[in-house]
């Protein structure tokens, strides 16, 4: 695809938009950038880009471009994109643009939960094996920024959200990872099927020479690639773990307790997916063990903040959907006082009720969805509703006896009160450290 002399319009000026603009400029395109936000949002946009702050749908209808690159944060099927795409030759995302100019191999990773941990694990292993493995995409550096480097890595560990997969055309992972699937983003997708269809696009350009790493039992269509399975419940899978060691082909490849700081069945699944992916690229078991020695999971994923008066405080702010909340609850071995809540994404939390009976002593809800969650969860356990995270921490502390765990696992996004799950998790950490 020759961009020299073409007009490339960037819709959305976040980090991925800036990376796409820089790559398009290097490829000789004339680049314009458009966003609803004011001029301050355009800080950091490369020199030479024509800037259009406060852009409206009317502005979009007047735009003529050869290529429109849409930010994953903007609804691909909404009226705003429709206005800008009417006179555009093609509509893609930043990840697809980068893929068209990347000469190395891609390990593509998707799933409702666990993507970031798996992406980090793949990066760590491939880096130790001198294959590069830079983590990028939905996590870490924008893919276009990696491709724009003077010496791009031989392999990338590419986390792919459903929003990014909506706009791919040619992106071709030699290894495509499907971790799991559960309803999410129902504030953006009209149906669960539409969300699932977006994620399934990770496989559409694979061939028989590629590998699909899939959790055993996932209901997927027939795939062109070789399918490699992992499981924590069925020993017939290609990779199996009961939560302590990981076995493959009759051998123990990793002892999680000895070699890593990963704990719980959900992390065993992430680890197996990473091992299977790197094995498909020829990395040895010895190299993997060396790479993973001492590995600790990223912050905000069942992160132990402190133990105070015999109560553990766990930060699972990354749990932005129902499936992640369920996984966190199932992994607990102590009685739980759950802190949940945030933005109302239109999810049905009924499946959590029976799990609360089994795992929770009480629930404290907060944020936009607090009242609705409290009404539902109070059918299972005592429940209190508050406005803020600070009030939720104080209330949870009053309800948690010695030997229990206070678990922040919100089960939804943070955008009602925070800029993202990281800010929410950091706020929780600060609040817990302030307790005396």
Residue 92, pLDDT > 70, answer: yes
Q: Say which DSSP state 65 is in.
A: B
In the prediction, which pLDDT does 433 show? 97
CB neighbourhood size of 251 (10 A): 8
How far apart are alpha carbons 341 and 273 in whole angstroms? 30
In the prediction, which pLDDT does 408 show? 97
In the prediction, which pLDDT does 19 show? 97
In the prediction, which pLDDT does 258 show? 86
What is the mean predicted confidence (pLDDT) over 373-387?
96
Q: Tokens 């000469």 correspond to what residue?
A: 103
Banded model confidence at residue 239, pLDDT cuts 50, 70, 90: very high
CA dist 15 to 97, 147, 169, 389, 427, Å? 14, 14, 21, 28, 24
In the prediction, which pLDDT does 322 show? 87
In the prediction, which pLDDT does 142 show? 96
Banded model confidence at residue 244, pLDDT cuts 50, 70, 90: confident
Beta-bridge mates of residue 110 = 178
3-state secondary structure of 436: coil
Q: Say which DSSP state 46 is in.
A: P
Residue 409, pLDDT > 90, answer: yes
| Domains of the chain in sequence order | 7-89 (3.40.50.720), 101-292 (3.40.1190.10), 303-434 (3.90.190.20)
How far apart are alpha carbons 166 and 214 in whole angstroms? 20
Burial class of residue 309, CB neighbours in 10 A (0-12, 13-18, 19+): exposed
Based on its alpha-carbon atoms, the radius of gyration of the chain, rounded to whole angstroms, reads 22
Look at 187 and 414; give whichever has higher pLDDT: 414
CB neighbourhood size of 306 (10 A): 12
In the prediction, which pLDDT does 185 show? 65
Query: How confident is the model over 39-91, as pLDDT tens digits?
Result: 999 999 999 999 999 999 999 999 999 999 999 989 898 999 999 999 999 99
Query: How confident is the model over 261-291, as pLDDT tens digits?
Result: 787 788 899 999 999 999 999 999 999 999 9
Beta-bridge mates of residue 107 = 157, 175
Residue 215, pLDDT > 80, answer: yes
User: Among all residues, which ones are annotated catalytic?
Assistant: 115, 138, 185
Q: Tokens 């027939």 correspond to what residue?
A: 222
Query: How confident is the model over 334-372, as pLDDT tens digits?
Result: 899 999 999 998 888 999 999 999 999 999 999 999 999
Look at 277 and 331; give whichever has higher pLDDT: 277
In the prediction, which pLDDT does 333 show? 73
In the prediction, which pLDDT does 191 show? 87
How remote is the C-alpha of 155 from its chain's centroid? 19
Q: Which H or E element spans position 276?
A: helix 265-280
Residues 6+ apart with CB under 8 A from 170: 96, 99, 100, 205
Look at 140 and 151; give whichever has higher pLDDT: 151
- Residues of the chain with pLDDT > 70, as a percent, come to 99
In the prediction, which pLDDT does 301 show? 83
In the prediction, which pLDDT does 186 show? 58
Helix, strand counts (H, E) of the chain: 16, 20
Q: Chain-wide mean pLDDT for the chain?
A: 94
């Amino acid at each position: 695809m020759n961009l020299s002399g073409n007009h490339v319009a960037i819709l959305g000026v976040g980090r991925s938009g800036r990376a796409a603009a820089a790559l398009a400029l290097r490829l000789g395109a004339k680049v314009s950038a458009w966003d609803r936000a004011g001029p301050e949002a355009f800080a950091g946009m490369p020199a030479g880009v024509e800037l259009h702050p406060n852009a409206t749908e009317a502005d979009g209808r007047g735009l003529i471009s050869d290529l429109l690159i849409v930010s994953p944060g903007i609804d691909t099927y909404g009226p705003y994109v429709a206005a800008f795409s009417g006179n555009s030759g093609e509509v893609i995302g930043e990840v697809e643009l980068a893929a068209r100019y990347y000469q190395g191999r891609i390990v593509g990773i998707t799933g409702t939960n666990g993507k970031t941990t798996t992406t980090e694990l793949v990066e760590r292993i491939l880096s130790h094996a001198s294959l590069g493995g830079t983590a990028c995409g939905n996590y870490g550096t924008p893919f276009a920024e990696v491709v724009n480097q003077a010496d791009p890595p031989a392999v990338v560990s590419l986390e792919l959200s459903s929003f990014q997969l909506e706009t791919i055309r040619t992106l071709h992972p030699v290894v495509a990872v499907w971790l799991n699937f559960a309803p999410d983003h129902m504030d953006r997708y009209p149906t669960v099927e539409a969300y699932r269809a977006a994620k399934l696009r990770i496989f559409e350009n694979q061939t028989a020479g590629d590998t699909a790493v899939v959790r055993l039992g996932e209901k997927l269509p027939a795939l062109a690639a070789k399918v490699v399975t992992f499981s924590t419940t069925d020993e017939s899978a290609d990779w199996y773990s009961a939560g302590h060691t990981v076995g493959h082909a009759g051998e123990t490849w990793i002892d999680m307790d000895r070699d890593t700081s990963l704990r719980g069945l959900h992390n065993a699944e992430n680890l197996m997916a990473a091992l299977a992916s790197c094995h498909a690229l020829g990395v040895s078991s010895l190299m993997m063990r060396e790479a993973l020695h001492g590995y600790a999971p990223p912050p905000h994923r069942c992160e132990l903040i402190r133990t105070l008066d015999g109560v553990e405080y766990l930060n699972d702010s990354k749990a932005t959907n129902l499936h992640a909340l369920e996984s966190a609850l199932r992994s607990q071995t102590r009685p739980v006082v759950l802190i949940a809540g945030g933005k109302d994404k239109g999810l049905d939390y009924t499946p959590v009720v029976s799990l609360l009976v089994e795992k929770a002593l009480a629930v404290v809800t907060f944020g936009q969805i607090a009242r609705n969650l409290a009404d539902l969860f109070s059918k299972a356990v005592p429940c209190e509703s508050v406005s803020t995270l600070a009030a939720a921490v104080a209330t949870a502390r009053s309800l948690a006896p010695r030997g229990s765990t206070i678990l922040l696992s919100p089960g939804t996004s943070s955008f009602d009160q925070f800029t993202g799950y990281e800010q929410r998790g950091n706020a929780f950490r600060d609040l817990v450290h302030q307790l005396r």
